[in-house]
Amino acid sequence: MIMEENKNGTQEQPEQKKKKKSDVILTIALVVAIAVFCYAAYNLYHIYTEYRKGTNEYNSIEEMAVTERDPDSTEVAGPDAQPKPPIDVDFEKLKSINDDVIGWIYVDALPDISYPIVQGKDNQTYLHQTYEKNYNFAGTIFVDYENGRDFNDCNTLVYGHNMKNGSMFGHLKKFTEDEKLYNNDRYFWILTPDKNYRYEIISAYTTGVNSDTYTLFKGPGEEFEEYLKKIKSYSDIKTEDTELTIKDKIVTLSTCTGNESTRFVVQGKRVNAEDDGSGENAGSANSDAASVDSVTVQEG
């Protein structure tokens, strides 16, 4: 049998040498595995911390600025009475923190979707910046910077992240996962400093990031009329046969899907404005213009 000498001058068998090499390899593998585990644990902790910070911040804002109405006060008393939102929002308090605020969204079937809405100078500012302007992946619910601030455009685009813990617009997809949600309550609200708008959901579907869903219109016309027909046909759920006209105001709620090339959207038609007829805001330049030209934009 061939023997080999080690550094101490003693001889060792090849099997012993192989065992030492194997031990070294196992040790290295163990160290690498521990390092990978620690890195993964750190990332999970970081993600959890981010989620918790974002959730805590928005809970605090809601506690400060939002008051639930007595359910009896929101009931419709007569045939001509207009429904009232289930919450009141103190916009003066909200503006004291961030004057980019332009509204508050509340989804009747998904009351966890209750957040301030802002509009920045571009579509990047609030992607990962909270309402209090802290960095957080949750960001803030925001309106496309090319829209008017008053929700009077033909199509107003509202963006929010699809967070894994269900926060922000993370629960929007439930409208296609469980159609009972839509059947039980197909409305959402956008409250503003001047008026409270109620929207009926007319469509919910997955679409491409560059699809015509994200078209902004300078004014009503044939192009907008065709758009209304398209979005109704796109829906992944059966919705009421609600009449759509070029006078309608659409809000498009958009969130990511986990696929970089697609988005999930819920679209609603404005059906009433609380205190309608008492001096509604003038429409934005986009919605009042006579031109029917359009520009296609995508989520930032």
Q: Which residues are catalytic?
A: 161, 256
Query: 68: which strand partners?
Result: 87
SS3 169: coil
Q: Which residues contact 260 (CB under 8 A, 6 or more apart)?
A: 209
Q: Give me 175's structure tokens.
A: 């409208």
Q: Which amino acid is at 199?
A: Y
Q: Which H or E run includes 89?
A: strand 87-89
How would you class 81 by CB atoms within 10 Å of its CB: exposed for 0-12, middle for 13-18, buried for 19 or more?
exposed
Q: Which residues contact 228 (CB under 8 A, 6 or more apart)?
A: 244, 245, 246, 248, 250
Question: Quick check: 169 and 162 in contact, CB under 8 A?
Answer: yes
What are the C-alpha distances in Å from 197 to residues 131, 132, 164, 210, 282?
22, 25, 29, 28, 15
| Measured distance CA(165)–CA(161) in Å, rounded | 11
In the block, tokens 């409250």 appear at 191
| Measured distance CA(123)–CA(161) in Å, rounded | 13
- Going by C-alpha positions, the residue among 164, 229, 177 that lies closest to residue 204 is 177
- Going by C-alpha positions, the residue among 276, 269, 274, 257 that lies closest to residue 176 is 257
